Structure 1
Amino acid sequence: MRRAFEFQFFSSRHVPTLKVLSASINDFRYDRHAHTEYAFGVTLAGRQDFFSAGTYHRNPPGSVIFFNPEQPHDGESGGDHRLDYVMTYVSPETLAPLFAAAAGHQHAGRLSSPQTLITDPVLRDAIVALTRLVRENVGSRIDQEHLLQQIATRMVQRAGRYQRMAPASTRPDVLLTRACDYVRAHLEEELSLERISAAANLSRYHFLRLFRRQFGMTPHQYVISCRIDAARGALEQGATPGEVALRYGFADHSHFNRRFKRIHGVTPFQYQQSLAH
């Protein structure tokens, strides 16, 4: 009998920050979370339903999913059929020179796209080809870099926009950014609503209201997401799951396992093992 969900992670041996997920799910729902990387995905079969950017989306086969860094989202299989999809995760630092080259400006390395669902056969085929190279460990570094350049170029050509400098921000945006920066700087310490809202110079009431409206998730969900994201990086560097659980404030190894699996579909040990092969 086929399992209700299957997740496989792969790490590129040529591009250090490039990782790939191959997933097949029937009965699994991701907790709402965000990644520090850019994420590009393609639905291969079934339908992927998810919430992001203030909207619920239904992603049919052949469509591309795109998440900017720090863009909260969840996800699950929609309809009656099994969902099969692939995702690629790439750090902003890796993509910055590719975006700049595509835009024709050396300072145009930061791209932000308002589009979450994209219908684009060229982009789709490049993502699928890149995931195949990483999953099967075939081709050379320049092959993977070429496909990444194709993806970056296509995103710049589409509705994406690059930022030569930090855009003007409203006061709530600035204050919430301070709160997020505070969280990421203190992940190994005790965090509370009082401390986080104080970092944003907001009352707890106004902080909770603004944060939920801006990010579509609670501060608690954001803290868990950030800790799991940091834990993932530590696992990739060779730290043991037990060490990571203790470092990032999880009650015990079992609690860490549950939280990690609800965002990545596998346990910390399984994630670490998958990248080691």
Structure 2
Amino acid sequence: MQGVPDSFVFPADSAQFRHPAHRDGVELYRAHIVRHAFEPHAHAAFGLGAIERGVERFRLRGADHLAPPDSLVLMNPDELHTGRAETDAGWRYRMIYLDADVAAEITGEPDWWFADAVQADAARAQRVTALLERLWHAQAPLAFDGLLLALLDELAPHARRPRPATVEAAPRFERVVEFLHAHLAERLTLDRLAAVANLSPFHFLRRFRAHYHVTPQQMLMALRLQQAKRQLAAGAAPAAVAAACGLADQAHLTRAFAQRYGVTPARYQRQVQR
């Protein structure tokens, strides 16, 4: 991509993704982040992993969290969060992003949910790190699937089943999120979103932010980048992805994608299509 860097601004930062060819709904990730700060983003999947070294600070559900070495990181689907290093040498970690229906099929238990985003469970975190390393290098589909089950067996003690009911039911905000999903490529206004919720504009803005801990614009950008990630993984050209997801151009997609996922669209596409 001419004129667009294919790596982090800071050479010490690195991130890699991998998709197993035989198993949809599974994405492996490993990274060492020193200077990069991830903007608010979400994954349409469980984000499950462990910190190998260093400390990560991230914001989730309206609160700051610290994840030290040998801790588990357990995020539910579609939870917006940030991420940055708390220590000078950064933090090294491994994650698996697993669609909820895939997790349910593997475990035989639907509606897993994680109440705590960080768990201090050093022995288990070390086993999770080792399993994620083996999954990264597994070539045989049968071996990969066996390791996948072993990984979820390790994490099962921290999962709540079934998923708890939402404390504050907000169907009008769910309608707004559905509206955002359906209009990613459009230029949306506060008045238009408030009308979907049947609230006055700034009353809607205050209540939406209080409920999701992000503004509607931050939510919209997270949803746009989620969709961009799916389309890139499916092989769509970055320029077409930018237009389909409501971003100004390919350069805008590249900046926004790298800010949230740690790699450029071109590099992500190459990694997951190997």
Q: Which residue does the alignment assign to 1:5? A: 13
Q: Which residue does the alignment assign to 1:167? A: 165
Q: 1:265-276 counterparts in 2 under 5 A?
A: 265-276=262-273
Superposition TM-score, scaled by structure 2 size: 0.88
CA contact 2:56–2:66 (8 Å) conserved in 1: yes
Q: Over aligned residues, Cα RMSD in angstroms? A: 2.1
C-alpha deviation, 1:236, in angstroms: 0.6
C-alpha deviation, 1:205, in angstroms: 1.4
Question: Aligned partners of 1:216 and 1:143: how far apart in 2?
Answer: 40
Distance 1:239 1:121, change over 3 A: same
C-alpha deviation, 1:123, in angstroms: 4.3
Distance 1:276 1:158, change over 3 A: closer
Moved more, 173-182 or 119-128: 119-128
Of 50, 53, 56 in structure 2, the residue corresponding to residue 48 of structure 1 is 56
Three-state SS of the structure 1 residue aligned to 2:263 is coil
Q: Which residue does the alignment assign to 1:17? A: 25
Give the number of aligned pairs.
265
Question: Aligned partners of 1:22 and 1:96: how far apart in 2?
Answer: 24
Unaligned regions of 5+ residues in structure 2, if any?
1-9
Distance 1:272 1:169, change over 3 A: same
Distance 1:41 1:196, change over 3 A: same
Q: Which residue does the alignment assign to 1:111? A: 112
Distance 1:38 1:224, change over 3 A: same
Q: Which residue does the alignment assign to 1:104? A: none
Q: Which residue does the alignment assign to 1:241? A: 238
Question: Aligned partners of 2:148 and 2:122: how far apart in 1?
Answer: 15
Distance 1:191 1:158, change over 3 A: same
Question: Aligned partners of 1:196 and 1:273: how far apart in 2?
Answer: 36
> After superposition, what is the alpha-carbon deviation per residue over 1:167-225, rounded to whole angstroms, capped at 9, x for unaligned?
36645x21111111111122233322222222222222122111211222111011011
Percent identity, aligned pairs only, is 28
C-alpha deviation, 1:122, in angstroms: 5.9
Q: Which residue does the alignment assign to 1:30? A: 38
Unaligned regions of 5+ residues in structure 1, if any?
102-107
Q: 1:206-217 counterparts in 2 under 5 A?
A: 206-217=203-214
Q: Which residue does the alignment assign to 2:78? A: 70
Three-state SS of the structure 2 residue aligned to 1:162 is coil
Three-state SS of the structure 2 residue aligned to 1:178 is helix
Quick one: which amino acid aligns to residue 46 of structure 1? Answer: G
C-alpha deviation, 1:125, in angstroms: 4.2
Q: Which residue does the alignment assign to 2:200? A: 203
Of 171, 174, 187 in structure 2, the residue corresponding to residue 177 of structure 1 is 174
Three-state SS of the structure 1 residue aligned to 2:146 is helix
